[in-house]
Amino acid sequence: MSHSHSSNSFSHFISTYVFSKDHKIIGLQFLFSTLLWFLIGGLLALGIRWQLAYPWEGMPVIGPALFSGEGGQISPEFYTTLFTMHATVMIFFVIIPILAGAFGNYLIPLMIGADDMAFPTLNMLSYWFMWPAFIFIGLSFFWPPYGAGSGWTSYPPLSAVRTAAPGSDWAQTMWLMGVTFVGISSMMGSVNYMTTIMQMRAPGMTMFRMPLTIWGMFITAILQAFALPVLTAAGFMQLTDRMFATGFFIPEFLQV
């Protein structure tokens, strides 16, 4: 009896707090995940600012361990990686998820009088599709010999050619995989937000009676719905250039 009770309690915990379909829980999941990445992005920014403030001095504490060959100073290749990963983390893992994922999930149903989002399962998947992105971007930072260093914009051909720069091989491929998953997650969220706002408002709440916060979320969802399919497809095409030798972004007769 006790074994059955503990098993049911565990299943209830998993369905309620891990793979939850409740918009408030999903909003909190986005919030706590982005706060963790916010701290990581802040540490990356600290490394960038240390290099700018003291370019000829070794980094304290971790410098001798990480950059023993450079006398404890940040190497040029690692500085490029720091810059790339800081911008990537702050834009794709902090700004977008905390404003759209966390506040959007938590506030939209509450402020328009809906019970939940229009597609609760899709809402859950929009959060869990972020986890492959977390893993791939994290791997791209630690992948030898250097992490991804093509910038957060990842313009080709620098980002499309595997031999363009240190960190342009598997590290950049991992980075592109991560950003592709971010795009898929955001597209799921944008469809959910637009449908919820258009179809599930309380009786009497016309579009022009909605709170300005909901209008902001609505416009954000529309922009995501138009922009992210293009950007995600571009990231996927870059992946095929790198892994299957297609020619979407690599000019013919390019010399590196």
Question: Given this model, what pLDDT does residue 157 score?
Answer: 83
How far out from the chain centre does Cα 67 lie? Answer: 28
- Closest residue by Cα to residue 23 from 129, 118, 131, 133: 118
Question: Given this model, what pLDDT does residue 127 score?
Answer: 95
Question: Given this model, what pLDDT does residue 104 score?
Answer: 92
Q: Are 180 and 137 in contact (CB under 8 A)?
A: no
Instruction: Give the residue ranges of the chain where pLDDT is below 50.
Output: 1
Whose tokens are 């579009």? That residue is 207
Q: Are 22 and 67 in contact (CB under 8 A)?
A: no
Question: Given this model, what pLDDT does residue 162 score?
Answer: 80
Q: Are 174 and 148 in contact (CB under 8 A)?
A: yes
Question: Given this model, what pLDDT does residue 6 score?
Answer: 62
Question: Given this model, what pLDDT does residue 223 score?
Answer: 93
CA–CA gap between residue 150 and residue 167 (Å, rounded): 8
Q: What is the DSSP letter of 93?
A: I
Is residue 160 exposed (0-12), middle (13-18) or buried (19+ Cβ within 10 Å)?
buried
